Amino acid sequence: MSTRSEHLASWVSRLVQIPSVNPLHAGPRAGEVGEARLARSLAQWFADMGADSVELVDVVEGRPNVYGIWEGTSDRWVVLDVHTDTVTVEHCTGDPFDGRIADGRVYGRGAVDTKASLGVMLAVLERARGEGRRPVPNLVVVGSISEEAGGLLGARGFREWAERRGLRPDEVIVAEPTMCEPIHGHKGGASLEIEVKGLASHSANPHLGQNAITGAAALVLALDAENRRLQTLTPATEVGNGTLTVTLVRGGTGGNVVPDSCTITVGRRIAPGENNAEVVSQLKELVERECPLPVEFVRTHVGAPAFYRSPDSELVRRLAGWAGTQPAVAAYGTNALRYEGFADEMVVFGPGSIDNAHTAVEYVEIAQLELCADVFTEWLGLGS
């Protein structure tokens, strides 16, 4: 391994060795859960690497975001947002936090999702510091909490923090494993929790009751038909059409009672061009029309619109050019959902493959770290 690849791999390994499992994914193997320990280490490293200011800001009690700011020599502001939490380790093979470097890879939970981007940025900044150089644009590196579960709270917290300071970034990179392809769009989401209301009776006399599960079953099939209809539309962009699916069902009180209540949850993925409020209100109309029994909307989550930028937008083109990759779209959602209307230029970008995320054996290829380091170096104006 070259000195440079060793340097990159060792930073990612160091980050993997600090467990930061999302508290909603806690389990016996997770150890100390939460992002705090990693955030405190990052604050120290940001300071070591010449950040002009470093802040730890609790988003939820005991779960801080960390912000490092490097003042540049231009008036542009660029942001790298990296989520500091990881998914569960309960299904991992071997020690999920050993950060083992072998076979041209760094192994362990978070190696690819998404400590790799953070490790690369730290290595690039450390190298620049050693050479007495600074990023040309003003740079904010954000370590954000709660991306994997709990509702993108860290991204929301960062945006509020930045807006209070009047900071409006010219460019935002949301770090996720994209094989260094600039992702310029993915779907948003909305959801509904619906209670179907029936009438209880003795199960020997079903005709005296109104079975809420049977009513919900008819509704579920109508929702499924609506999803099939959505797939026949011509998509507005490469991201594709919105989708709809029932994800949870709960109902019934006993084996000999006709159920008077059944609750279902419907997940709706929002395509670019769709308006969340309109989508949700049309979905509610459909539910009321198609359900044979009365319904109550227990929870309405209007959610976030899709993230979309043109594949020809400047940041997308520059990143693709430096990486030698093509713009692409993603099936999964990211912190980009919190930054619509905040940043003009935005992409989701980072080393390694999403196929190696959340798995029993997680790893990132060191060659991907090197490619990402080339791109970050150019992005920060640190190329030779």
End-to-end CA distance of the chain: 22
Q: Which of residues 184-223 bind Zn ion (CB under 5 A)?
A: none
Query: Which region, judged by CB under 5 A, interacts with Zn ion, from 91-99, 109-117, 164-172, 238-246?
Result: 109-117
Count other C-beta atoms under 10 Å from residue 24's C-beta: 14
Q: Please, which residue, 117 or 211, has the CB nearer to Zn ion?
A: 117
Q: What Cα–Cα distance (Å) separates residue 362 from each residue in 99, 172, 213, 371? A: 10, 26, 41, 19
Q: What minimum distance in Å lies between the beta carbon of 303 and Zn ion? A: 19
For Zn ion, which residue of 113, 181, 260, 274 counts as binding (CB under 5 A)? 113
Told to check if 114 binds Zn ion by CB under 5 A, we report yes
Smallest CA-to-CA distance from 135 within 184, 175, 66, 80 is with 80
Planar angle of CA 372, 355, 379, nearest 5 degrees: 15
Number of residues engaging Zn ion in binding (CB under 5 A): 3
Smallest CA-to-CA distance from 31 within 118, 107, 92, 76 is with 92
Q: What minimum distance in Å lies between the beta carbon of 239 and Zn ion? A: 18
Q: Please, which residue, 109 or 134, has the CB nearer to Zn ion?
A: 109
Per-residue binding string, Zn ion, 3-42, x by CB under 5 A, is ----------------------------------------
Q: Does residue 50 come out as left (phi exceeding 0), alpha (psi in the -120 to 50 range) or beta?
A: left
Query: Which region, judged by CB under 5 A, interacts with Zn ion, from 47-55, 112-120, 340-348, 376-384?
Result: 112-120
d(CA 352, CA 369): 8
Told to check if 274 binds Zn ion by CB under 5 A, we report no
Q: Please, which residue, 194 or 354, has the CB nearer to Zn ion?
A: 354
Query: Which region, judged by CB under 5 A, interacts with Zn ion, from 61-69, 160-168, 169-177, 243-251?
Result: 169-177
d(CA 134, CA 128): 6
Q: Please, which residue, 54 or 306, has the CB nearer to Zn ion?
A: 306
Q: Quickly list DSSP for 268-292.
A: EEEPTT--HHHHHHHHHHHHHHH-S
Q: Which residues bind Zn ion (CB under 5 A)?
A: 113-114, 176
